[in-house]
Chain A
Amino acid sequence: MTPVEVNVERQGGEEGGGRRHPNTCPECRSHYRDDELRHAQRVCAQCGHHFVVGAMERIDQLVDPGTFVEIGGDLRAADPLAFVDLKPYTDRLMDAELQTGLGDSLVAGYGRIVGRDAALAVMDFSFMGGSMGSVMGERFCLAADHAVAYGIPLISVTGSGGARMQENILALMQMAKTVGAVDSLREEGLPYISILAHPTTGGVIASFASLGDIVIAEPGALLSFAGPRVVEQTTGEKVAADFGRAESNLRLGQLDAVVPRRELRGELAKLLTLFSPTEDEPTGDREPLMTIVEGDANPIDKVLGRLGLGRRRG
């Protein structure tokens, strides 16, 4: 599970000695405006390069507006090993939370995609390299639990450098734990669709992310167990430029499709339709009023929220 150090944007600001405009596409060198890029779902308008997308923005892109509800948002990493490298693990966690506004590297929940219900587990590479620790694993399982409780499909979007070394063996065990969650979906006959974004490597691709009934990748995504640098360093083999890229993986039979981001929501809607019983039109209103999902902060608030009522906080 050698976590891979990936240059996410392959931006190389200083490379070549010259100073470059900060908003330069790493692929075609064209310049972009932040709001334009965001509006274009972070895909370069000139060359189609896919930039990394954060978890909340990804959810916005995929899910019907106003339908997403988070599960397990109150979970936070503990530090049972009292791990300190050049910096204490707790400091790294705090920095990551302040930087991203997320509690960990995965946001779990449920929502509707073109009217069809799905449980969601969406990773964020900017939170400690999308590393997999106890909280990430538990949140993935909570999303799977929700899928099982409601009999709906699970969709995951991954972006990860691998397991979180600061939790060592507990991080490794999240592989078995998340695979177990996929097994529970299989036992119930529920579909699991795995979307691999750049980069999905190490323990995440070697566990749940590879086990989708359907596995889809974004163009150009690096998808490998060991990263190119680790391969070069350990084996001395020369690594080709397209090593582990989505397109190579498709050619080598590891994927069902490489789907550009703009088409992702449509493809997901199609798959959700294909996996649902025939003639089952999306009603979007089949949700039971209340079930208690472990990890929910307060199920009562959720019910009140669904009824359009609110409860005073504090």
Chain B
Amino acid sequence: MRIRSTRCLGAWDWGDDVVRVSDEVRRLRKRFEARAEESHIWDAVQLARNPDRPYTLDYAERLFTDAFELRGDRAFSDDEALITMLARYHGQTVVAIGHQKGRDLSERTRRMFGMPHPEGYRKAIRAVELADRFGYPIITFVDTPGAYPGVNAEERGQAGMIARSILAFCQASVPIVSTVIGEGGSGGALAIAAGDRVLMQQNSIYSVISPEGCAAILWKDSGQARKAAYAFRPTANACLDLGVIDRIVEEPKGGAHEDVDAAAKFLDDAIRQSLQQAEMIPAAERRRARRAKFRQMGVWGVVDEPTIQDF
């Protein structure tokens, strides 16, 4: 999103009066302020992390038939924080990819609370390539606090593997629909979220860092997470306003965990319709179209003259 404005954002204009922002930014801010009151940002954060909230496998069970889990990255191990599967969805074969948190303590430990290592992303890349080879649509479920920040993960190339996973999504010629179903935590989430259509469940969150992490760095106190969440608005509404997602998926009253079947029904409708939309893009143009979609993300201003002259 490019804002045409005359000399408004450079330092030289900030002297006496406050920044004169363009109408577009002002409109966005107005909407945020109006919605911040009603949307209870912190409630969404809590609901997104509710331990009873349905996870990828809960939805897979209700949306798909004949699921066959694809395991292992063919190089190092099988990362259970991220699952990939072949399945039938409304009569067609699809590849599903999703983070998976655990229900009880032992499963949570086994699945690293849904925080993948590089091998998880390598497995995701393998699944994307398989889908691309056979022309199967890809459906992803995003639900992670973030990629695992451990020494081993770093040594095995966590950063590079996240980058390569995003690239694999960019390059796929098959339709991709991604839905944030809980926590969309930073690069570890985006690694499987670069879809033709990106959806968010009503009570899910999507952010560049956790509210706690943001508070720890900017407020120097992770106890200020609530304040941080209010300031950076990780909600579905905000993401929709900013043009980052295409659609908000309704949840049953009280949140998805109150009625998993109903939540799955809403999700099913949204994914099916979004998939139909994504399928309308000709296969030959899908890669470019997806690139163009992400290219327009961001908000910036233009000043009259560059501060640094060509030299």
Chain A residues packing against B (C-beta within 8 Å):
1-3, 5, 56, 66, 68-70, 73-86, 90, 93-94, 97-98, 101-103, 107, 133-135, 137-138, 141, 163-177, 179-184, 186-187, 201-203, 205-211, 223-226, 230-231, 234-235, 237, 239-240, 243-244, 248, 252-254, 297, 302, 305, 313
Q: Are A101 and B291 in contact (CB under 8 A)?
A: no
Q: Which of A1, A165, A237 has most B Cβ within 10 Å?
A: A1
| Distance between A312 CB and nearest chain B CB, rounded to angstroms | 13
Contact mask for chain B residues 2-29; partner A; CB cutoff 8 A; 1 contact, 0 none = 0100000111001000110110010011
| Distance between A82 CB and nearest chain B CB, rounded to angstroms | 5
Closest to A109 in B: B310
Closest to A294 in B: B2
Contacts of B252 in A (CB 8 A): none
Which one of B14, B163, B217, B298 contacts A165 once the chains associate, using CB atoms below 8 Å?
Answer: B217
Q: Are B300 and A77 in contact (CB under 8 A)?
A: yes
Q: Are A206 and B154 in contact (CB under 8 A)?
A: no
Contacts of A2 in B (CB 8 A): 146, 149, 186, 209, 213, 217
Q: Are A81 and B232 in contact (CB under 8 A)?
A: yes
Contact (A172, B154) CB under 8 Å given A85-B228, A177-B295, A211-B167:
no
Q: Would you mind naming 22 contact pairs between A and B with Cβ atoms under 8 Å apart?
A: A69-B310, A74-B302, A79-B21, A80-B28, A81-B32, A81-B232, A141-B295, A163-B208, A164-B208, A165-B232, A170-B298, A170-B299, A175-B163, A177-B294, A179-B163, A180-B170, A203-B208, A206-B158, A224-B159, A225-B153, A225-B158, A313-B305
User: In the docked arrangement, what's the CA distance between A200 and B203, Å?
Assistant: 33
Chain B residues packing against A (C-beta within 8 Å):
3, 9-11, 14, 18-19, 21-22, 25, 28-29, 32-33, 146-147, 149-151, 153-160, 162-164, 166-167, 170-171, 186-187, 190, 194, 206-209, 213-214, 217-220, 228, 231-234, 238-239, 242, 244, 287, 290-291, 294-295, 297-308, 310-311
| Distance between B306 CB and nearest chain A CB, rounded to angstroms | 3
| Distance between A58 CB and nearest chain B CB, rounded to angstroms | 13
Closest to A170 in B: B298
Q: Are B22 and A78 in contact (CB under 8 A)?
A: yes
Q: Are A76 and B190 in contact (CB under 8 A)?
A: no
Q: Are B157 and A83 in contact (CB under 8 A)?
A: no
Q: Are B242 and A243 in contact (CB under 8 A)?
A: no
User: In the docked arrangement, what's the CA distance between A76 and B25, Å?
Assistant: 13
Contacts of A203 in B (CB 8 A): 186-187, 208
User: In the docked arrangement, what's the CA distance between A38 and B29, Å?
Assistant: 44
Which one of B147, B217, B290 contacts A225 once the chains associate, using CB atoms below 8 Å?
Answer: B147
Contacts of A98 in B (CB 8 A): 11
Contacts of A186 in B (CB 8 A): 171
Contacts of A73 in B (CB 8 A): 306-308
